[in-house]
């Protein structure tokens, strides 16, 4: 009893110290921006926490003038102006800006749809005329060249058209800095050049230590290339949450460092600039991943993030996290039975593993509150959290020396699930449950690896959620609590996929990304027991299938390149989208946007699992590859794993 009391006291001390250190506000080396200092401009999207511009009618959003007025009252205390991106529905923004003395960089959204673009141009002209006193300039288009929705010549024509109607208002276009250099025909049409410099989003991401210097270098480069136009930095900022890209880490501390350092530099050099952005926009997570929703200088509740002045905390609600961690630790009390006091190693191991696991589960839960924005992601979060919690209690059971039931191999577990019969006598129901949990862990890990290999840019690393199960089954293997069946090769295949995926991720993300490095280590830890069990089993029966799938993937990739990405074919569609080829591209784009390829792959996969037929598995896998190629990666990853495991099991078992 005394040892148990001391152990849980030690756990509480460790948890308290951890969350105190993690949540403690940290001073920022860059100089604070004085409260009286008004900054030049900030991007403003007039959407509340649960609103989105992605599903709008032809007339644009219906916005609350009262909320817009409250937003701009907040921004007017700190900024001289705002920037908007679309004209539809933005009349209340212009009225409120006029009221609060804010100057507006008034945007018109230019897209591949000429009718929608015409509507935008007509509205931006009307607003600029009605509210001339507050309109600093009109921005015709935002990153339309980057999205390849118009040509440089088309864009220049739109700009000149607006300039001819609004001769007394400056007109510009805004894009990532390099696209101004790729399309030199645009600069002569504008009154000034508006460039975006976002070190986090560069093709070669820039670490926070070098971010401000990078902005300065790019600003000077563009100024030298386009010397006859004023250069305005239309977007500069840093995200407070999201996945790491190489050495570029989103965090509240790094956001404050960048903003303070950039503003000090821009003001000293007398550069016109606009920060991105005013308020966090959760809807952006749909297109940009978790990081897209956290560029705001204020959160969704309109609370300032301590970006401008003072120390900054990475976890300002650390005591809430502490309480959740303590709750998890207290749930382990039933495990600390009589066997707890038999070994000093068990006492120490349990006292360390219980708070470690609790912290990891709480951190993973916190991450999911950041990255999850629709029902599918919430289901994924629930699955990852559930398997992590189960692994937590399995690991602690092993730590106190409790013998766990014998587990089944992956092949035997698949047979058990397909037959839906009683568990094997040597495992019992508890052993069957652990075997199924192990299979679920493998499936979820393979889904995550597939997404990070095929389309990593917007995907987060769920390290905290997968470390516990990886450690659990590695520990059980070390303790010789391992399946007794001879492997048919399925374990070896899983180990090969995890190891290969880890290598690809390591190369893609570079060793600078410690989040990716941790994920690679987790994949290798998870793969190790499978590799040990699968040694000696041949994978030759899968050779023809693998070659066929590689060929199918190559053909589908070639189709995407020719049909969607070949500029020589796509460029005429910007002038006349009515041709047969252009219409087919539009249909393909519509299918991709609505995840048709992914849903088709998932339907085939469910049929394959239900029907237990090799040809259905192959069809599901080819459909999944189509989902990967045509940007329906989430559903395709969910589809390919069960179909692939079942197909491999059938082929390997038949050859055994």
Return the pLDDT at 85: 96
Query: pLDDT over 70 for what percent of the chain?
Result: 95
DSSP state of 632: -
The tens digit of pLDDT for each residue in 553-582 reads 999 999 998 888 887 777 787 777 777 888
pLDDT in tens, 200-221: 999 999 999 999 999 999 999 9
User: Which of 83-87, 373-377, 505-509 has the lowest average pLDDT?
Assistant: 373-377
DSSP string for residues in 21-75: HHHS-B--SSPPPPTTPPEEEEE-----TT--SSS--TT-----HHHHHHHHHHH
Q: CA end-to-end span of the chain, whole Å?
A: 53
Phi, psi for 41 (deg, rounded to 5)? -160, 155
pLDDT at site 210: 97
Beta bridge partners of residue 231, listed in sequence order? 193
Q: What is the pLDDT of residue 375?
A: 87
Give dist(CA 351, CA 339) in Å, integer. Answer: 14
**The pLDDT value given to residue 337:** 64
- The predicted model gives 423-448 an average pLDDT of 86
Q: HEC states along 385-407?
A: HHHHHHHHHHHHHHHCCCCCCCC
Tell me the Cα Rg of the chain: 28
Q: What is the pLDDT of residue 112?
A: 87
Judge if the upstream peptide bond of residue 591 is cis by omega within 30 degrees of 0.
Answer: no
Tens of pLDDT, residues 464-490: 999 999 999 999 888 877 776 667 789
Write out pLDDT tens, residues 268-311: 999 999 999 999 999 999 889 899 999 999 999 999 999 999 99
Q: For residue 307, what is the enclosing H or E element?
A: none
Calculate the CA 392 to chain-centre distance: 26
The confidence score (pLDDT) of residue 124 equals 97
CA-closest candidate to residue 444, choices 493, 388, 394 = 388
Contact indicator for 523, 509 with CB cutoff of 8 Å: no
Query: Looking at the DSSP assignment, which residues form a beta bridge with residue 138?
Result: 106, 171
**Is residue 284 within 8 Å of residue 236, measured between CB atoms?**
no
- Taking the CA of residue 583 as centre, how many other CA atoms within 13 Å lie in the half-sphere pointing to its CB? 3
pLDDT of residue 1: 67
pLDDT at 649 over 80: yes
Question: Which residue bears the tokens 């309480």?
Answer: 323
Helix-helix angle 428-454:514-534, to 10 degrees: 130
DSSP per position, 128-185: HHHTTTTEEEEEEEESTTTTTSS-HHHHHHHHHHHHHH-TTS-EEEEEEHHHHHH-TT
- Specify the pTM: 0.92
Using DSSP, state whether 488 is helix, strand or coil: coil
Contact (Cβ atoms closer than 8 angstroms) between residue 509 and residue 246: yes
More confident residue, 134 or 63: 134
Residues 489/410, Cβ–Cβ less than 8 Å: no
What per-residue confidence (pLDDT) applies to 425?
61
Q: Which of 272, 256, 211, 235 is nearest to 31 (CA)?
A: 256
| Phi, then psi, of 124 in degrees rounded to 5 | -65, -35
Is residue 656 very low, low, confident or very high in pLDDT (cuts 50, 70, 90)?
low
Class of domain 26-293: alpha beta
337: left (phi over 0), alpha (psi -120 to 50) or beta: beta
Q: CB–CB of 452/379 below 8 Å?
A: no
Q: Which residues share a beta bridge with 275?
A: 42, 236
Which of 329, 382, 332 is closest to 359 using CA atoms?
A: 329
Q: What pLDDT is stored for residue 342 in this prediction?
A: 58
What average pLDDT is seen over the chain? 91
Question: What is the spatial distance between Cα 38 and Cα 60, in angstroms, rounded to a whole number?
Answer: 31
| pLDDT reported for residue 341 | 53
Is the Cβ–Cβ distance between 43 and 274 less than 8 Å?
yes
pLDDT of residue 169: 97
pLDDT tens-place string over residues 495-551: 999 999 999 999 999 999 999 999 999 999 999 999 988 887 888 999 999 999 999
The pLDDT of residue 63 is 78
What residue spans define the domains of the chain? 26-293, 325-534, 541-655
Q: What is the pLDDT of residue 344?
A: 66
The string of pLDDT tens digits covering residues 169-207 is 999 999 999 999 999 999 999 999 999 999 999 999 999
Q: What residue ranges in 310-369 does DSSP mark as E strands?
A: none
Task: Take residue 627 and report the two structure tokens written for it.
Answer: 């989902």
Q: What is the largest CA-CA distance in the chain?
A: 87
The whole-number average pLDDT for the span 634-646 is: 95
Print burial letters for 95-108: b (CB count within 10 Å at least 16), e (below 16). Answer: bbbbebebbbbbbb
Count other C-beta atoms under 10 Å from residue 606's C-beta. 15
Hey, is 20 helix, strand or coil? helix
pLDDT confidence of 333, banded at 50, 70, 90? confident
Tell me the residue ranges of DSSP E strands in 201-245: 230-236
Give, as one character, the DSSP assignment of residue 198: -
Residue 519 CB neighbours (<10 A): 26
Q: Band of the pLDDT at 59, cuts 50, 70, 90?
A: low
Answer yes or no: are the C-beta atoms of 240 and 250 closer than 8 Å: yes
Lowest-pLDDT choice from 295-299, 442-446, 577-581, 619-623:
577-581
Q: What's residue 575's pLDDT?
A: 74
Q: What confidence score (pLDDT) does residue 56 get?
A: 58
């Amino acid at each position: 009893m005394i040892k148990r009391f001391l152990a849980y006291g030690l756990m509480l001390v460790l948890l308290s110290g951890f969350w105190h250190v993690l949540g403690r506000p940290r001073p920022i080396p860059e100089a604070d921006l004085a409260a009286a200092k008004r900054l030049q401009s900030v991007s403003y999207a007039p959407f509340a926490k649960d609103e989105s511009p992605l599903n709008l009618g032809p007339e644009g959003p219906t916005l609350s003038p009262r909320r817009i007025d409250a937003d701009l009252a907040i921004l007017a205390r700190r900024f001289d102006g705002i920037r908007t991106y679309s004209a539809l529905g933005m009349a209340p923004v212009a009225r409120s800006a006029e009221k609060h003395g804010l100057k507006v960089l008034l945007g018109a959204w230019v897209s591949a749809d000429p009718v929608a673009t015409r509507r935008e141009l007509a509205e931006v002209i009307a607003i600029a005329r009605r509210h001339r006193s507050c309109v600093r300039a009109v921005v015709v288009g935002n990153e339309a060249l980057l999205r390849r929705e118009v040509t440089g010549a088309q864009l220049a024509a739109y700009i000149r058209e607006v300039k001819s109607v609004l001769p007394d208002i400056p007109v510009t276009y805004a894009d990532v800095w390099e696209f101004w250099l790729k399309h030199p025909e645009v600069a002569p049409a504008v009154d000034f050049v508006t460039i975006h410099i976002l070190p986090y989003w560069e093709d070669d991401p820039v670490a926070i230590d070098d971010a401000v210097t990078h902005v300065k270098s790019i600003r000077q480069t563009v100024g030298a290339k386009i010397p006859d136009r004023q250069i305005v930095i239309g977007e500069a900022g840093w995200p407070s949450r999201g996945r790491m890209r190489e050495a570029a880490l989103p965090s509240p501390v790094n956001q404050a460092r960048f903003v303070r350092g950039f503003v000090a530099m821009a003001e000293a050099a007398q550069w016109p600039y606009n920060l991105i952005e005013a308020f966090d926009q959760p809807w952006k997570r749909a297109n940009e991943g978790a990081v897209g929703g956290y560029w705001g200088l204020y959160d969704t509740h309109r609370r300032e993030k301590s970006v401008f002045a003072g120390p900054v905390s990475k976890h300002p609600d650390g005591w809430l996290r502490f309480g959740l961690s303590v709750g998890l630790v207290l749930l382990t009390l039933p495990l600390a039975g009589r066997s707890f006091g038999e070994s000093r190693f068990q006492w120490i191991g349990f006292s360390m593993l219980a708070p470690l696991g609790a912290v990891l589960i709480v951190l993973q839960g916190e991450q999911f509150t950041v990255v999850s924005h629709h029902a599918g992601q919430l289901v994924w979060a629930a699955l990852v959290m559930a398997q992590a919690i189960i692994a937590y209690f399995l690991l602690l059971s092993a730590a106190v020396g409790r013998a766990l039931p014998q587990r089944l191999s992956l092949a035997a577990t698949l047979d058990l699930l397909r037959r839906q019969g009683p568990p094997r006598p040597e495992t019992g129901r508890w052993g069957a449950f652990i075997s199924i949990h192990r299979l679920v862990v493998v499936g979820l890990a393979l889904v995550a690896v597939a997404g990070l290999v095929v389309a990593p840019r917007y995907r987060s690393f769920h390290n905290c959620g997968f470390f516990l199960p990886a450690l659990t089954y590695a520990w059980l293997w070390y303790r010789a609590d391992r399946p007794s069946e001879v492997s048919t090769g399925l374990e070896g295949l899983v180990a090969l996929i995890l190891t290969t995926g880890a290598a690809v991720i390591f190369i893609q993300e570079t060793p600078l990304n410690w989040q990716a490095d941790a994920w690679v280590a987790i994949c290798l830890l998870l793969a190790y027991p499978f590799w040990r069990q699968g040694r000696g089993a041949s994978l030759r029966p899968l050779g023809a299938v693998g070659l066929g799938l590689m060929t199918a993937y190559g053909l589908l990739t070639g189709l995407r390149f020719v049909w969607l990405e070949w500029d020589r074919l796509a460029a005429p569609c910007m002038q006349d989208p009515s041709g047969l080829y252009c219409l087919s591209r539009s249909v393909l784009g519509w299918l991709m946007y609505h995840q048709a390829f992914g849903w088709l792959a998932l339907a085939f996969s469910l049929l394959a699992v239900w029907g237990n037929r090799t040809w259905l598995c192959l069809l599901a896998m080819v459909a999944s590859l189509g989902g990967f190629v045509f940007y329906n990666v989430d559903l395709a990853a969910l589809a390919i794993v069960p179909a692939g495991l079942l197909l491999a099991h059938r082929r390997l078992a038949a050859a055994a």
